Amino acid sequence: MNAHILPILELHGDKAKSLGHQHGESFREQIAEIAEIRLERMCSVSKFKRSKDVLTLAEQHVPILRAFDGDLYTELLGISEASNISMARLVVLNHYTDLRDLEPGVKAIKQQDSGGCSIIYSPGPQGPILGQTWDIHASAQPYVLMLKVRGALVFSIMGCLGMTGINQYGVAIAINNLSSIDAKMGVVWPALVRKALSHKTAVMAKQEIINAPNGSGRHYAIADEHNFFGIETSGTKKKIICDRADQLYFHTNHCLDPEMRKTHIIRKDSNTLWRFEYLDQVSRQQDLSSPEQVFLAFKPISMTIEHGRPHQTTTCGTIVMDIKGHRLIGCRGIADESFLHNQALSMAI
């Protein structure tokens, strides 16, 4: 899958309902499409085989979101109203990976949704750099975009509150999915990313993650000019596994901490162990001193799609954040040198 320029949707104003309406009106048809894709994927890869059961489960997450953050709940409600997609379907669209985990102990997960995402953090001589690939079912790739919202640049998909990004204060966040065996009902995780990006420091964003009512496993990498935190979470546990801003750091889709390792499984046919070994052994020998070099370092561990397998896990996006420069480099698909030099994909807040 070749790299493509990320479309950018700038949401204007501060009123939550208006932000949602702008989002929903801009991509009404596409939101309906990706919502249906994710509902179908849930029925295919989880224990919930009927759409009705999936939507009943999703509906139960709506009051949790409202209690967690009224503005983000209202923004999602605005997307729902403008796109004519129910809140339950939007929860499936946003919270797909956590919903999928709501069956403790499942080991026979289909290869098409084995999952991905790789993170690199580099201290950088000109300032810290944080980036990731976003690896998920390939059918999500056409819906990838960047949101400019409330002083942040946020990588997302149409209809989703946001998945990774950087704000005007230079606070950046990246994520990897972890498949918990202790998954439970919890806050819609893109809302947690957005709330973390409302803070002025990485310390404050880190505390937001620690205090949140998580539903399932995820690793959060949070950085600003002065601090870096790697946090592994499950449905019931959280642990800061790194708080060093002066050293290289890598993470893929398995827990590095021995205690947290007991809370998750590695999905069938996942290549997370290989990707981590490559980053930890090969990438340490590479030049990771600039955002552009970090961007290109993701190419060897990115995943391409095979013809005829539209839901196979693939690299749907690559995002790198220049924290000191308040700048983001990103593309749909896999990082590519020719794309980097020939396309205007660098965005400033």
Per-residue pLDDT of the chain (349 residues; tens, 9 = 90+): 456 889 999 999 999 999 999 999 999 999 999 999 999 999 988 888 899 999 999 999 999 999 999 999 999 999 999 999 999 999 999 999 999 999 744 443 443 455 679 999 999 999 999 999 999 999 999 999 999 999 999 999 999 999 999 999 999 999 999 999 999 999 999 999 999 999 999 999 999 999 999 999 999 999 999 999 999 999 999 999 999 999 999 999 999 999 999 999 998 889 999 999 999 999 999 999 999 999 999 999 999 987 777 888 999 999 999 999 999 999 999 998 877 765 545 667 7
- Do both 93 and 116 map to the same domain? no
Is residue 105 in a domain?
A: no
Cβ–Cβ < 8 Å for 99, 42:
yes
Contact 130, 71 (CB under 8 A): no
Same domain, 318 and 193: yes
Beta bridge partners of 178: 217
DSSP 83: H
Domain count, the chain: 2
pLDDT at 346: 61
Distance separating alpha carbons of residues 195 and 162, to the nearest angstrom:
10
Domain assignment present for residue 203? The answer is: yes
Which has the closest alpha carbon to 332: 117, 193, 133? 133
Of 68, 100, 132, the residue at which a domain comes to its end is 100
Is the same domain home to 96 and 117? no
Say yes or no: 92 and 123 in one domain.
Answer: no
Element of type H or E holding 79: helix 70-83
Q: Are residues 272 and 225 in the same domain?
A: yes
Widest pairwise Cα distance in the chain:
53
154 φ/ψ angles, rounded to the nearest 5 degrees? -130, 125
Does one domain contain both 62 and 204? Answer: no
In a shared domain, residues 230 and 313: yes
CATH of residue 297's domain is: 3.60.60.10
Amino acid at 70: G
211 and 305 housed in the same domain? yes
| 120 & 88 share domain | no
Phi and psi dihedrals of 328, rounded to 5?
Answer: -130, 135
Instruction: Tell which of 50, 67, 100 closes a domain.
Output: 100
Instruction: Look at residue 3 and tell me if it is in a domain.
Output: no
**How far apart are alpha carbons 227 and 127 in whole angstroms?**
11
Contact present, 254 and 273 (Cβ < 8 Å): yes
The CB density around residue 192, as the number of other CB atoms within 10 Å, is 29
- Do 165 and 186 lie in one domain? The reply is yes
Domain that holds residue 66: 9-100
